[in-house]
Structure 1
Amino acid sequence: MHNMNTLRGIDLNLLVVLDALLAERHVSRTAARLNMSQPAVSHALARLRHLFGDPLLIRRSGRLVPSARAREIAPVLTEALRQVREVLGPGGFDPAREKRAFRLAMSDYGSAVVLPDLLKKLRREAPGIDLAITQASREAMVQLVLDGECDLALGVFPDLPERIEAEQLFLEHFACLADREGLAGRGRLDLEAYLARPHMLVALKDEANTEIEMALRAIGHVRRVAVTLPHWGNAPRLIRGTDLVLTVARKALGGHERDPALVIFEPPFSIPSFPFVQVWHERRGGDPAHLWLRNAVARVSRSL
């Protein structure tokens, strides 16, 4: 009987606010997402706490953390609202009219490869959607998604925790880049020549043990890394006029194919291909705007 009385006291808008609060874990972000004022969201949270007889979200070290009851409610509520939206039909979500800010985490590789076409698509089809891009290590990006600080992360994530969903965007492989003059007319380097050269590594400081190093170690070799950079964007230009070799994800070199000073070639040893994916928290699954953005990312990635 208590449940029926609780249900009578709740209008659907309150449940929409609760669903957004549990996903965002932040009053101002929930307000922006729902196009409400912050006081209106705070007032809704107060009413929800009263109706459920539970704090729902507890403030801990400046962040809102869901209570045990809220964690229990979240998946059921998201699924119920998804079904309601389905019944109401597609008229409930219109990308052209959506006003929303999303936070995406990706490396500068992701920014260079996926972002140009994604931004064109957003400006054309959903001009009210704003993006804020952040960069961090793989582990940090997954943590941002887990904590609700990021809506979506793009990258290479071999190990994902529970409650994180993933979709492969494309399969990527490695390629090498070297100065044409330094190759003395050869189109590539064999393994011996590759190992004799100094190398440029693009990695964040906690990611120096890369796929390239692991692949070399598997065949009993180590290369000398003479230069380490945190961003690959400037790396190809720095190769010009040097004896350095850069080994990076192939799509990162797309704009340098026509550079007469540089040569792109296959690595002289086997490095496994890797899936480039987008990841999100399962609690975002039922949000139509989030789903639209994920589909937009997937579509532009497939056309690369």
Structure 2
Amino acid sequence: MHETNSLRGVDLNLLVVLDALLAEQHVSRTATRLNMSQPAVSHALGRLRHLFDDPLLIRRGGKLIPSAKALEIAPILTEALRQMQEVLEPEGFDAAREKRTFRLAMSDYGSSVILPGLLNVLRRDAPGIDVEIVHSSRDVMQGMVRDGECDLALGVFPKLPDRIEAQQLFVEHFACLADQAQLSGHDPRALEGYLARPHILVTMKDENISEIDAALAACGHTRRIAVTLPHWANATRLIGGTDLILTVAHKALQHMDGNPAFAIFEPPFSIPSFSFVQIWHERRNGDPGHQWLRDVVASLAMSLK
């Protein structure tokens, strides 16, 4: 920082913009977060670069990458602003008055089990908070969290990069869905019948072998994949009137429970259960709004059957 600068001569609002820019690493999302125009955020970034005599955020491949100086000051700045907020607003975060947009990454499975309850809470308790949902593969969602392109990602993430935090929401297991009228003949509730049937596979095209096929391979078997698609919700609609078998996370089938036209049953071989988690970048740890959102998601997950 220039020697001629002093705290009294600094517009502290610029530090709020810098904190948001370092968290979002994106001008338009920072503008949305702070309820500012994009030109105003760009102008503030120019003033910040002069103030710190450093580029702070460097554009590379369409992204804003923090400079070494920015990475050094980011945690100090976030903590300083948090303490200032506690002084000015001793009651802390007020969801009912907050106006903000959160960007969440999740599959349609995550959307089906978490999103309805989350929207109910937001409309009831935080009507000024909006959410934008994006959907992609596991690796891409992790990258979006790492690069500040989304606030929170929900899914199955066996391996996480550095500086990514995670919280387990629940442990899930697999179940199978079949047309009840098609159970005779090759009964899929037995392994021989299961392997004789055609199957639906839900996967993103850039993901590796599914947990189901990995479990089958471990016991020396393969199955015939007759249909491959990227969406869980559409998969359940393809079962009626066919001999197809769908093996998916159990909670994705809960809306089918009690429907006499369909059979839901345990796979006839062992498939390891998995942890469904929410992940975020450690830069969000000092954000009370983000903490509130994580707590809401965790509470909703605990209430699921």
Does the 8 A contact of 2:187 with 2:193 survive in 1? no
Q: CA deviation at 1:92?
A: 4.0
Does the 8 A contact of 1:154 with 1:278 survive in 2? yes
Corresponding letter in the other structure for 1:216: L
Q: CA deviation at 1:240?
A: 1.3
Structure 1 gaps, min length 5: none
Q: CA deviation at 1:213?
A: 0.8
Q: CA deviation at 1:36?
A: 2.5
Deviations 1:219-244 (A, max 9, x none): 11111111111111121221112111
Query: 1:38 corresponds to which residue?
Result: 38
Deviations 1:140-160 (A, max 9, x none): 111111121111111001111
Does the 8 A contact of 1:188 with 1:265 survive in 2? no
Query: 1:160 corresponds to which residue?
Result: 160
Deviations 1:210-266 (A, max 9, x none): 000111111111111111111111212211121111100000001001111100011
Deviations 1:168-220 (A, max 9, x none): 11111100111111113999611121111111111112225100011111111
CA distance, structure 2, for counterparts of residue 95 and residue 169 of structure 1 = 22
Q: CA deviation at 1:88?
A: 4.6
Q: Alpha carbons of 1:124 and 1:186: their partners in 2 closer, same or farther (altered >3 Å)?
A: farther
Query: 1:21 corresponds to which residue?
Result: 21
Query: Bigger shift: 103-112 or 232-241?
Result: 232-241
CA distance, structure 1, for counterparts of residue 259 and residue 187 of structure 2 = 14
CA distance, structure 2, for counterparts of residue 169 and residue 23 of structure 1 = 24
Q: Does 1:182 align with 2:182?
A: yes
Query: 1:138 corresponds to which residue?
Result: 138
Query: 2:129 corresponds to which residue?
Result: 129
CA distance, structure 1, for counterparts of residue 161 and residue 120 of structure 2 = 32
CA distance, structure 1, for counterparts of residue 51 and residue 9 of structure 2 = 7
Q: CA deviation at 1:167?
A: 0.9
TM-score (norm 2): 0.93
Query: 1:96 corresponds to which residue?
Result: 96
Query: 1:222 corresponds to which residue?
Result: 222
Q: CA deviation at 1:56?
A: 0.7
CA distance, structure 2, for counterparts of residue 298 and residue 3 of structure 1 = 47
CA distance, structure 2, for counterparts of residue 270 and residue 162 of structure 1 = 32
CA distance, structure 1, for counterparts of residue 170 and residue 194 of structure 2 = 28
CA distance, structure 1, for counterparts of residue 185 and residue 191 of structure 2 = 17
Q: Does 1:239 align with 2:239?
A: yes
CA distance, structure 2, for counterparts of residue 66 and residue 207 of structure 1 = 29
CA distance, structure 1, for counterparts of residue 72 and residue 189 of structure 2 = 57
Does the 8 A contact of 1:85 with 1:92 survive in 2? yes
Structure 2 gaps, min length 5: none
Does the 8 A contact of 2:14 with 2:44 survive in 1? yes
Q: Does 1:111 align with 2:94?
A: no
Q: Does 1:293 align with 2:282?
A: no
Q: CA deviation at 1:269?
A: 1.1
Does the 8 A contact of 1:145 with 1:151 survive in 2? yes
TM-score (norm 1): 0.93
Q: CA deviation at 1:13?
A: 2.6
Deviations 1:88-145 (A, max 9, x none): 5553421111111111111110111110100001111111111111111110111111
Aligned Cα RMSD in Å?
2.2
Q: Percent identity?
A: 71
Q: Alpha carbons of 1:162 and 1:197: their partners in 2 closer, same or farther (altered >3 Å)?
A: same
